[in-house]
Chains A and B, each alone.
Chain A
Amino acid sequence: MASGMIEILDRGKAEIHFVSPDDFREFVKNKKNRGLRNKLMEEKEAVKKFVSNGDYIAYDFSSLTRGPQSLLREIIRQEKRRLWVCAKFTLYESALLVGGGCADKIDVGFIGWIPYLLGEAEKGRVKLYEWSNGSLTYRLLAGAMGIPFIPARDLLGTDIIKHSGTIIIKDPFSEIPVALLPALNPDVSIIHVQEADIYGNARVYGPTVATLETAMASKKVIISAERIIETIEFRKNPNMTIIPYYLVDAVVHAPFGAYPGGTQGYYEMDAEHYLKLTSITTEDEMQKYLEDYVYSVDSHEEFLDKRVGISKLNELVRKAEILEGFR
């Protein structure tokens, strides 16, 4: 090894979504407004304005807990195309996006057990890139920090490397191999929270997965919230502000926005509906599901009204008995 050179030991061959730190900074400088503006809008408008065909999309938390499911259904309803999905810690979102014809590339952290999606992958109908929950989260962290990559000690030795965009170098400090994970700056992220104000300040209660990192790393951010609260509430308890308003482009008031998953402190997941989703195997079943629960309604409100119903919603609210830490 020539002195002063860092040695590349191995590198993955997969395509990556990568934005250089300066390009991201430029975007933030020119396109992200630091003004205190009312960003409250309908889900339809938010998705229309801020999700574009070909976008790289990320979301936070999981399919079962505080996932942005009403926004996801709106994306499918608006027939967005060629999305590239960051599937960290997820169970069924990728399946629905692929079923809806919206997504054709997935960075795999965990894509869940839905036979439909696994079948599509077996047939080669969707392009998968291999990562892991941890590496995707570290990539978002790097994107949030404004640095081009982050060194980490996961993925080493595995077959994931060649199907990812990881580079292995000999670390010049410790002189042992280390993985360089490229920063991830999604075009758009969708995040469901318990509380937000009209400007985009947002709080989540419970574990966060990558709420702040995801919002901070993304060019466009849509928040959906169970409750819209006054800005003064954030100033009274600033420790609880997870997302400051200037990261956010749109705020959607979406009670039960995580349905069929649950939201801590509000309602439990709907286990029956979840079972319905996870048993989707064929194209017909997928299209029927999408027709029944996505295309045949015009909005999240209509979905709750006509496809879920007040008695089911009340039942899920009653089941959310554990409130400690969530209010």
Chain B
Amino acid sequence: MSVVEFTDTEFMICQAARLLEDNKTIFIGWGIPQVVAILAERLYTPNIVQVFEFGAIGPQCRTPFLRGTMGGPQNTYRSLQWCSMSLAFSYAQAGYIDYGMLGAAQIDKYGNINSTMIGENYEQPKKRFPGSGGGNEVASYCWKTIIVMSHESRRFVERCDFITSPGHMINGKDREEFGLPRNAGPWRVITSKGMFDFDEKTKQMRLIGVLRGLSIEEVVSEMSFKPLIANDVIELEPPNREELKVLREEIDPYGLIITKGKKIKMKV
């Protein structure tokens, strides 16, 4: 028996990394998804092909990861291909990209994402965000989109104030009715406390896993809507030593990303 200490951000990153599949393509958003992909590549999925909107296909990103280096030499190192943004998105639109991974400021129970603004009136936002970026395309085009985000009530809402990127249902209509690609969309939501999928029938977000030591109630109570709850909610392992070593020593030694969030101490 020993004690492991970690932040809930580290948990979220590790849990997302464990989900990825080797020999698949994955469209990577800015920030945490970049860290997840590097961790997965180092430990679990050595042949994963990362795809970036600015036009890098399959880079073997150099570490340490520096926030904000998107598009620079570190982040495009030894790519298979450098190309344009329209080509990178076209790979996804044509179906070549298996996974997408994004962060989100706000999400609703159908997996719609808001990266634009908070408030009831678009013209007078209470809070303005930077906008879609490439998030809309990732969520629209990739076969399975994974959303990685911090678990807070204000982020999990009944309906997004502004839908920037599409989930499964919008205003009561299935995404395909809007012309979005068939059989694609949000697949998992990984938070600092748990993991969700989307119920096939109702298309609603469903809790399928909680971080060890947390109860279902503790997770659900910090959401502004009631998610569905799977019959067998699994216990999610805390980050293991190997994951933490790679994260802390190799990927983010300056703690730019992984030190954020709540600190957790756990016996393992």
Residues of A within 8 A of B (CB): 61-62, 64-66, 87-89, 91, 108-113, 118-119, 121-122, 124, 130-135, 137-138, 140-141, 152-160, 163, 168, 171, 176-179, 206-213, 262, 264-265, 268-269, 271, 274, 320, 322, 324-326
* In the A-B complex, the 7 residue pairs with the closest CB atoms: A177-B179, A207-B55, A157-B178, A132-B132, A134-B137, A322-B73, A110-B133
Interface contact B166-A61, CB-CB below 8 Å: no
A-B contacts, 25 of them at CB < 8 A, read A61-B54, A61-B71, A64-B70, A89-B85, A110-B131, A111-B131, A113-B130, A118-B129, A121-B128, A124-B124, A132-B133, A133-B53, A133-B133, A137-B85, A156-B180, A158-B165, A160-B116, A163-B122, A206-B76, A208-B83, A208-B84, A209-B71, A264-B76, A274-B68, A324-B78
The answer to the question of B265 belonging to the interface, with a C-beta cut-off of 8 Å to chain A, is: no
Instruction: Say how far B66's CB is from chain A's closest CB, in angstroms.
Output: 7
Given contacts A122-B125, A134-B53, A134-B137, 5 further A-B contacts (CB under 8 A): A91-B68, A134-B89, A157-B173, A157-B180, A176-B179
Instruction: Say how far A98's CB is from chain B's closest CB, in angstroms.
Output: 13
The answer to the question of B69 belonging to the interface, with a C-beta cut-off of 8 Å to chain A, is: yes
Which B residues are CB-close (under 8 A) to A324?
77-78
Residues of B within 8 A of A (CB): 52-56, 62, 66, 68-74, 76-79, 82-86, 89, 93, 116, 122-137, 140-141, 162-166, 170, 173, 175-181
Instruction: Say how far A240's CB is from chain B's closest CB, in angstroms.
Output: 12
Chain A contact residues: helix, strand, loop or mixed? loop
Q: How far is the CA of A157 from the CA of B175 in the complex (A)?
A: 7
- Selected from A133, A176, A209, the residue in CB contact (under 8 A) with B132 is A133
Interface contact A153-B86, CB-CB below 8 Å: no
Interface contact A110-B86, CB-CB below 8 Å: no
Q: How far is the CA of A218 from the CA of B196 in the complex (A)?
A: 45
Q: How far is the CA of A55 from the CA of B53 in the complex (A)?
A: 27
Q: How far is the CA of A160 from the CA of B115 in the complex (A)?
A: 11
Which B residues are CB-close (under 8 A) to A265?
73
- Selected from B69, B71, B135, the residue in CB contact (under 8 A) with A207 is B71
Interface contact B82-A325, CB-CB below 8 Å: yes
Which A residues are CB-close (under 8 A) to B116?
130, 159-160
CB closest chain-A residue, reference B182: A176
Interface contact A153-B53, CB-CB below 8 Å: no
Q: How far is the CA of A39 from the CA of B124 in the complex (A)?
A: 45
Given contact pairs A160-B136, A207-B52, A208-B55, A132 touches B131 in the complex (Cβ within 8 A): yes
Q: How far is the CA of A161 from the CA of B76 in the complex (A)?
A: 32
Q: How far is the CA of A171 from the CA of B78 in the complex (A)?
A: 40
Q: How far is the CA of A110 from the CA of B85 in the complex (A)?
A: 14
Which A residues are CB-close (under 8 A) to B66?
271
Q: How far is the CA of A66 from the CA of B135 in the complex (A)?
A: 22
Interface contact A157-B163, CB-CB below 8 Å: yes
Interface contact B179-A112, CB-CB below 8 Å: no
Instruction: Say how far B93's CB is from chain A's closest CB, in angstroms.
Output: 6
Interface contact A64-B128, CB-CB below 8 Å: no
Interface contact B85-A118, CB-CB below 8 Å: no
Instruction: Say how far B85's CB is from chain A's closest CB, in angstroms.
Output: 4
Which A residues are CB-close (under 8 A) to B180?
153, 156-157
Interface contact B86-A207, CB-CB below 8 Å: no
Instruction: Say how far B129's CB is from chain A's closest CB, in angstroms.
Output: 7
Interface contact A154-B140, CB-CB below 8 Å: yes
Which A residues are CB-close (under 8 A) to B164?
132, 158-160
Instruction: Say how far B28's CB is from chain A's closest CB, in angstroms.
Output: 13
Q: How far is the CA of A307 from the CA of B105 in the complex (A)?
A: 37
Q: How far is the CA of A12 from the CA of B175 in the complex (A)?
A: 19
Given contact pairs A130-B116, A153-B181, A325-B82, A65 touches B133 in the complex (Cβ within 8 A): no
CB closest chain-A residue, reference B72: A65
Interface contact A210-B85, CB-CB below 8 Å: yes
Given contact pairs A89-B53, A154-B141, A158-B164, A131 touches B71 in the complex (Cβ within 8 A): no
Which B residues are CB-close (under 8 A) to A213?
84, 86
Instruction: Say how far B109's CB is from chain A's closest CB, in angstroms.
Output: 16
Instruction: Say how far A178's CB is from chain B's closest CB, in angstroms.
Output: 6
Given contact pairs A89-B53, A153-B93, A153-B181, A209 touches B84 in the complex (Cβ within 8 A): yes
Q: How far is the CA of A132 from the CA of B82 in the complex (A)?
A: 21
Which B residues are CB-close (under 8 A) to A61?
54, 71
Interface contact B140-A137, CB-CB below 8 Å: no
Which B residues are CB-close (under 8 A) to A111?
130-131
Q: How far is the CA of A255 from the CA of B63 in the complex (A)?
A: 27
Interface contact B134-A132, CB-CB below 8 Å: yes
Interface contact B54-A262, CB-CB below 8 Å: no
Given contact pairs A154-B136, A156-B166, A326-B73, A121 touches B125 in the complex (Cβ within 8 A): yes
Interface contact A134-B73, CB-CB below 8 Å: no
Which A residues are CB-close (under 8 A) to B74?
322
- Selected from A133, A157, A209, A264, the residue in CB contact (under 8 A) with B137 is A133
Q: How far is the CA of A118 from the CA of B128 in the complex (A)?
A: 5
Instruction: Say how far B89's CB is from chain A's closest CB, in angstroms.
Output: 4
Which A residues are CB-close (under 8 A) to B84?
137, 207-213
Instruction: Say how far B198's CB is from chain A's closest CB, in angstroms.
Output: 15
Candidate in B71, B131, B141 with the most chain A CB atoms within 10 angstroms: B131
Interface contact B137-A207, CB-CB below 8 Å: no
Which B residues are CB-close (under 8 A) to A209?
54-55, 71, 84-85
Interface contact A158-B130, CB-CB below 8 Å: no
